[in-house]
Structure 1
């Protein structure tokens, strides 16, 4: 007898994955705590997190949006102005250090950055460059609007019962003088790149782990009962500044994030891990969960992930397939800089 003789089928690749029937993966995730229709849910993170928020809202769960659009803003412009994408009007939060920065600003443990970018007579927020189609009329309005977001963010954190965070990147750009983390390289979405002021950072395991640990400590300081659900975006990175082949850099990125969130979920009783990364990347699913470009997750893939979520939690509809709509993603803009074939 060996320790392997008593293990279930789920411990072996062949019966659990390679030769599994369609229902076999239903046991992949067994929620650590209850998630129900009564939970007030916040979502934040990378582009893939936009899908999660939309699906939660469309399938009957209490997804919370901390800032509602102005009454005079046409519905067609809501998402282009940062509404309805995440629970906070922060835009995409791709990295763990960027999430920590936003939470520190919201809770007042770090002074919000005062940097503003100007282009002609319009002004833009370096830390959410995609939330306004045409920018703002003044630098003061940029900072005032961001302050409203921080206040709404804190209020939402205080009242929520579940926070879902989906990191997707470990590479980021920072301000050399202030160490403030940007969601995108200056000059790619808005602003102007300055090599004297901006530098690339590749956050390793220790950086990401430390940022998430500090974030959880801050969240629980104002809401001790807040449950945390972590997942990793299965969307591959668009480009890398690391000097490595983008395929190698992508796997290093995702493996770093997966290790960090997995260990944190194992450590804390109030934290769980949801395997969207594994459900999409399962090699036995073939390529049907990726579009032709090998990056975009298909409607079928998103539906598979969310069906798994609702099946495991017993909340929301498991039969309704909700179209995801347009995804706002600064990272995708880096495709513009790729050399022509």
Structure 2
């Protein structure tokens, strides 16, 4: 199902980012002995669960989930071109969070100034991670996002869900098209290659259906739209750019030949068998060893404290399900 055009081996430095499903990819490659970059490690004495609750050990930098190509491109512009997002700090009760990664400090920080200091350090470590990577792995997760109307700033989560407050006159809902998704990812590639000319890209689409939609459509209709757009965008990127491979995570899980057996009884969460099958295929394609220790039973639905899939020690950190709070309230 997959013939890579470039190698990934023990000496390959890999950076990971994207939706929740990308967390599986990082674990699988790390278990196979690949050097997966971690530019913002948690202190060694911190438990894995606490570290993950605070955005550590999920990706190659502590940016949390990046669901859309637009958010990824914006982050690159901030890191390398000095872009300043609107509303960089949101209030969370009497505390403060980074609007571009509100979930990494669940209790917030003491001041807006402290958030700004953390942000500056994060961007420096992000530049280090992406600048050192031989391969950048990105999992496309969503086409839906919330933005700041005047500036176009994209947020990873709607204001008011994890900090901030939603104002329909200031904030808006956007549902990206194929062309917009392709343009955003290619813009990211251009910035990344300007800083790291040797970088190659492994892209994939999360197979997990949407948990909620703010589009006004039924969530199953919105899911087909979103995944179709993301898959088509990946195909256009693959055809237009050198040094890009597409790995069929989405196809392995959703193909009729799988008979639906890779979905849990709720027909949304990918089972451990499904995750293990995808990651075993990935490792075999590159001639890598390792066991399927990365598997867990959840994807975008798994949110700390939100219920749903079993809370295993290796669960994922995802907040996409919280968008359900805004279904029917946000306007385009």
Output the TM-score relative to the length of structure 1. Answer: 0.87
User: What is the deviation of 1:190?
Assistant: 2.5
Confirm or deny: 8 A CA contact 1:114 1:143 kept in the other structure: no
Match of 1:105 in 2: 78
Question: Which residue of 175, 179, 191 corresponds with 1:218?
Answer: 191
Considering only CA atoms, is the larger Rg found in Structure 1 or Structure 2?
Answer: 1
Question: Which residue of 23, 35, 41 corresponds with 1:50?
Answer: 23
Question: Which residue of 237, 246, 252 corresponds with 1:273?
Answer: 246
Match of 2:221 in 1: 248
Match of 1:327 in 2: 316
Match of 1:152 in 2: 125
Looking at structure 2, the residues matched to 120 and 337 of structure 1 have their Cα atoms a distance apart, in angstroms, of: 19
User: What is the deviation of 1:112?
Assistant: 4.7
Change (3 A) 1:240 1:120: closer
SS at match of 1:231: strand
User: What is the deviation of 1:124?
Assistant: 1.0
Looking at structure 2, the residues matched to 140 and 71 of structure 1 have their Cα atoms a distance apart, in angstroms, of: 27
Aligned pair count?
311
Q: 227-236 or 258-267: which moved more?
A: 258-267
Question: Which residue of 88, 100, 118 corresponds with 2:91?
Answer: 118
Confirm or deny: 8 A CA contact 2:192 2:199 kept in the other structure: yes
Confirm or deny: 8 A CA contact 2:214 2:323 kept in the other structure: no
1:282-297 to 2 correspondences below 5 Å: 282-297=255-270
User: What is the deviation of 1:56?
Assistant: 1.6
Match of 1:32 in 2: 5
Confirm or deny: 8 A CA contact 1:66 1:88 kept in the other structure: yes
Confirm or deny: 8 A CA contact 2:24 2:294 kept in the other structure: no
CA RMSD, Structure 1 to Structure 2 (Å): 1.8
User: What is the deviation of 1:71?
Assistant: 5.5
SS at match of 1:177: coil
Match of 2:231 in 1: 258
Confirm or deny: 8 A CA contact 2:98 2:115 kept in the other structure: yes
Match of 1:136 in 2: 109
For structure 1, the residue ranges without an aligned partner over 5 or more in a row are 1-27
Confirm or deny: 8 A CA contact 1:61 1:316 kept in the other structure: no
Confirm or deny: 8 A CA contact 2:201 2:243 kept in the other structure: yes
User: What is the deviation of 1:310?
Assistant: 0.8
Map Cα deviations across residues 35-92 of structure 1 (whole Å, 9 max, x no partner). Answer: 1111100110001111111222223211111101145644431001110111111111
Confirm or deny: 8 A CA contact 1:123 1:136 kept in the other structure: yes
User: What is the deviation of 1:179?
Assistant: 1.2
Is 1:61 the equivalent of 2:56?
no
Looking at structure 1, the residues matched to 285 and 21 of structure 2 have their Cα atoms a distance apart, in angstroms, of: 20
Looking at structure 1, the residues matched to 30 and 8 of structure 2 have their Cα atoms a distance apart, in angstroms, of: 14
Looking at structure 2, the residues matched to 321 and 176 of structure 1 have their Cα atoms a distance apart, in angstroms, of: 43
Match of 2:201 in 1: 228
Looking at structure 2, the residues matched to 95 and 281 of structure 1 have their Cα atoms a distance apart, in angstroms, of: 21
Match of 1:23 in 2: none
Is 1:80 the equivalent of 2:53?
yes
User: What is the deviation of 1:129?
Assistant: 1.3
Confirm or deny: 8 A CA contact 2:89 2:99 kept in the other structure: yes
